[in-house]
Chains A and B, each alone.
Chain A
Amino acid sequence: MLTALVFTPTAVALLLLVLPRRTPESVFRIVWVVSTAVLLAFVVGLWAGYDHGGGMQYEVRARWIPSAGVGYHVGVDGLSLPLLAMTCVLFLACAVHSLRQTRRVREFAALFLFLQTTCLGLFVSLDLILFFVFFDLSIVGMYFVIAGWGHQQAARAALMFFLYTFIGSLALLLGFIGLYLAADPHTFDMVELTRQNPLAGRSVYAALVLLAIGIGLAVKTPTVPFHTWLPPAHTEAPAAGSAILAGVLLKMGTYGFLRIAMPMLPDAWRDYALVIVIVGVVSVLYGALVALAQTDFKRMIAYTSVNHMGYIILAVGAAAATADTSEQARSLAVTGAVTQMVSHGLLTGALFLLAGVLYERGRTYDMGAYSGIAAAAPAFTGMTAVAAFASLGLPGFSGFIAEFQIFTGSLGPRPVATSLSLLGILLTAGLFLRALQKMFLGPLRLPDAPGSPRAFPDVRAHESVAVVPLLMLAVVVGVAPRFLLDVIEPASRAVVELLAR
């Protein structure tokens, strides 16, 4: 089942590449949209058949490279299933949003389908090397998206993105090798490593492994101080690329913390929880402050991603405190972290797609160049406002549910850090309101760059079909979150139990 889900997109991509040269471009677009829709339906089917209390499900295990301890092992549980669903939703949205894309459509669609394989594959991997393979391939795929379809400075930004995240991935690989060598018998299997807890009682070794894995995941997440690749990559990437990069690829880092670092290195994680919490708080505050200073709309959203990822890091750090809090509070923090991943994926995806709409009309992201858009494009204004309010954590949207759980769960164990992080919400609220006010209210003024169309047409049908479902899902999660929380909660309780060993 999962194998089919993971490799179908790549198979479709190969199919697109071998179609004859004269195939009309509309065929590629339709195949792309239809196949991502089918994949989404597939994941909905998985969700329907998922047993909430059943732990790891749909597992497949096959021998791959037994002499190196590597196996093909996939499965889903409450941590990965929501992310799988979010990934499929976002890829479908990107496919719909790119319906008017004209630059090398065949390659664009094939690359995105390939990226979808890597993202889905990463979330279902239960073997460290399999995880790493998808982790690395996602970098390669995204590199070509940025370099091939980005804006003026794309080559530079893509190179920076590749080098930076590649350093992270190699640190990760070294950490994985450390875990492999510590296990007896040597293995890369995640379930087996989690069960063995091979580094229990070897504090220096465990600390080094955690450092390597931590750096690898922190670069991808990204947290301060490893975030410098993110703003240029986002600014230069095409809209759909940014949406996937922020919506899905960043989650690989935080998912890695929950899936690998916490269950496999519980002692080291508890010992260094304070460091993790501090990194989280610094990311929250620094991300928000720097976002406040941006004049570029896309760059601003990119920095709010650093801020939002900071909440997740805070939560996973706070979940490590065993002494003075109830297990319930800690599992609440972990549940909040997973909810935040889903919520951030939907909302940032929507915001970046909207930024793409803005760029297509004005050919610039500079917020100072726009004013009074509300008069020209009310629907666009409405969507952006909803996305911005949802992103800053207004009740009724998914962001609120996520951040509320994170703060409630973290306040007990880390009162100071949590109160400081609350400031982050205030700052994000300020910056989003300021951006909305600058760009949408006031007298109508549009950038006059050569080549940009005069008028500012409102969102087109395909653009709203891409964005509106993302916002609606955010509202559904915000109003009736049980369907999501019922899946996440057993898994986060399991993580907290593993961490308390």
Chain B
Amino acid sequence: MTEMNENPLDILPEILLAAGAVLGLLLGAWLPRSRQWIVGLLAALASTAGIVAAAVAATEPATAAFDGAFAVDPVTGTSRIVILAGGLLVLALSIGPMRADPRESEFYVLLQLTVLGALVLAGAQDLLLLAAGYLLASIPAYTLAGFRKDGPGTEAALKYYVIGALLGVLMLTGITVLYATGRGTGYPMLSTELREAPEALLAAGTLGLLAGLLFKAGAVPAHFWVPDAVQGSTPPVAALLTTLPKIGALAALFRLGAVPLADSPLPWAALIAVLAAASMTLGNLAAFFQSDVKRLLAYSTISQVGYLLMPVAVAVRSDEAQQALLYYLAAYAVTNLGAFAVVCALPRAVNLDDYRGLARQRPLLALSLVICLLGLVGTPPTAVFLGKLEIFTAAVDGGYAWLAVLAAVNTVASLFYYLRWIVPAVSRGEGTVLRDGDGDGTARVVAYAAATASLGLGLAGGPVLAMLSGTLTR
């Protein structure tokens, strides 16, 4: 990248979303309460236009925008599409509960800003931009976690905020140290400078940086906020928190491992492999005996991050790592959102036992739940199965066969707690909660759509996977 590239069209999806947020904020101030849904519509339009723009950009060769600070390559392209599509699903999930809420437009604006933060994380090719993305993805999310202003929501927001602020400071410290070590913050420069950098400084800086990104990804050891934030916030927000920032953070981690730290003396692969192993194992063990569905899903997302970290570990050691990560991200996003959509569709069902008799009352919803949960396990032919196949292959190919074996063992273990949810849902008997409330219709449709997409993405994996390879910008 020798010449300056400041073409704003390269970051059109991000610009659209930012414009949607700002315009929404202004509109929200003038619109009567009964018509604030227009702001939501605006957000949906911005996201849709963003997806189109990202898809168009993905067909063009990889470039780096704004002096190499923002990469426009397959990783960014896929993350953009997945994050924006996930944002649309979350938007659809929130229409029902937010309708005519006094702060409806604020909700949509904050949602867009969080999504924007995730997008910046995914594309950042400069440590300072990464920090900006971190803050942009975090601060609106803290607000969203406590949006309901009730006890659990406040606790969720507080816990989320305190841990986020602490690890954010660590991250900024790490960036400072890396700046000092590598004499720059752009990845292309760092990738050459860090090759001969003093190891202690490099390690300190990288660890600090990791703290922030692992927090956003919800991985061990920065996972303590996940269960409480997910349980305390409303189901749509929980769906958002466990899916979208995670995608941005994992794309950022992958880029970090594949570009600036690729040739560094740090044992990056081993470090990430250990974190992956810890994440999947601890997440699974903690999920075993949860009876609150949101908490169960929260721990399940922690273990899913473990699987997602596997291709990050072998980023430079296996050619298949990139497509494995991107495919699994898409598969995970749609399947996880599907599971949360079922939770949203039945707002009164809190515990596993409340789902008893679901198959009889809402057979399609029960089927979607079974598809999404078995999908999270990795049962063929859902998308996560193909994703798991890809990441296992990448891990074995990259010399981490033990990690693949551990992931397989963990997959079996995870089956246990997903079945604890499936069994009451498909067995006979009457739930106490399902009888009176008939739930949220839009969320039901989202659940059907997500389950169908999860199956469809798995069956049509061929063409999708083919689009995900391609070189990163460096």
Interface residues of A (CB under 8 A from B): 63-68, 70, 129, 132-133, 136-137, 140, 144, 147-148, 155, 159, 162-163, 166-167, 170-171, 173-174, 177-178, 180-181
Contacts and interface: CB of A to CB of B under 8 A. Distances in A.
Given A66-B462, A144-B426, A181 B381 contact: no
Nearest to B388: A173
B380 interface: yes
Nearest to B360: A104
Given A66-B462, A136-B380, A155 B390 contact: no
Interface in B108-147: none
Interface stretch (B5-13, B271-279, B410-418): B410-418
Nearest to B466: A67
Interface stretch (B347-355, B392-400, B448-456): B392-400
B455 to A, nearest CB: 12
A68 B396 contact: no
Contacts of B415: 162-163, 166
A455 to B, nearest CB: 30
B380 A133 contact: yes
B323 interface: yes
Given A66-B462, A178-B396, A170 B426 contact: no
B423 A155 contact: yes
Nearest to A147: B423
B469 interface: yes
Given A147-B423, A148-B426, A174 B392 contact: yes
Contacts of A64: 461-462
A170 B461 contact: no
A174 B426 contact: no
Interface string B376-392: 00011100011001101
Contact of A162 (B411, B419, B461): B419
Contacts of B380: 129, 132-133, 136-137
Given A65-B386, A68-B389, A136-B379, A163 B374 contact: no
User: For this complex, into which size category does the number of interface residues on chain B fall?
Assistant: 20 to 34
B22 interface: no
Choose among A63, A170, A171, A181 the residue with the greatest number of B CB atoms under 10 Å from its CB. A170
Nearest to A68: B465
B240 interface: no
A68 to B, nearest CB: 6
Contacts of B393: 68, 177, 180-181
5 contacts: A137-B379, A159-B416, A171-B408, A177-B404, A180-B393
Interface in B315-352: 323
B465 A67 contact: yes
Given A67-B323, A137-B379, A167 B462 contact: no
A166 B390 CA distance: 19
Contacts of B427: 147-148
Given A137-B379, A174-B392, 4 more contacts: A67-B462, A144-B426, A162-B415, A177-B393
Q: Which of A65, A70, A140 is the most central at the interface, judged by chain B CB atoms within 10 Å of its CB?
A: A65
* Interface secondary structure of B, over-half rule: helix
Interface in B415-444: 415-416, 419, 423, 426-427
Given A68-B461, A144-B426, A163 B412 contact: yes
B389 A177 contact: yes
B405 interface: yes
Interface in B460-474: 461-462, 465-466, 469
A180 B404 CA distance: 15
Nearest to B404: A174
B391 to A, nearest CB: 10
Contacts of B381: 133, 137
A180 B386 CA distance: 14
Nearest to A17: B363
A88 B260 CA distance: 59
Contacts of B423: 147, 155
Contacts of B411: 166, 170
Contact of B379 (A129, A140, A147, A163): A140
B367 to A, nearest CB: 9
A215 to B, nearest CB: 11
Most buried by B among A67, A129, A140, A171: A67
Contacts of A136: 379-380, 385
A178 B395 CA distance: 11
Contacts of A68: 386, 389-390, 393, 461-462, 465
A367 B390 CA distance: 50
Contacts of A63: 462
B408 A65 contact: no
Given A67-B469, A133-B381, A136-B379, A173 B462 contact: no
A156 to B, nearest CB: 11
Contact of A140 (B374, B386, B412, B462): B374
A166 B412 contact: yes
A373 B385 CA distance: 51
Contacts of A166: 411-412, 415
B191 to A, nearest CB: 27
A66 B467 CA distance: 12
Nearest to A134: B380
Which has the most chain B C-beta neighbours within 10 Å: A66, A70, A177? Answer: A177
A163 B389 contact: no
A177 B462 CA distance: 17
B465 A167 contact: no
Contacts of B390: 68
A162 B420 CA distance: 13
Nearest to B367: A17
A155 B416 CA distance: 12
Contacts of B392: 173-174, 177
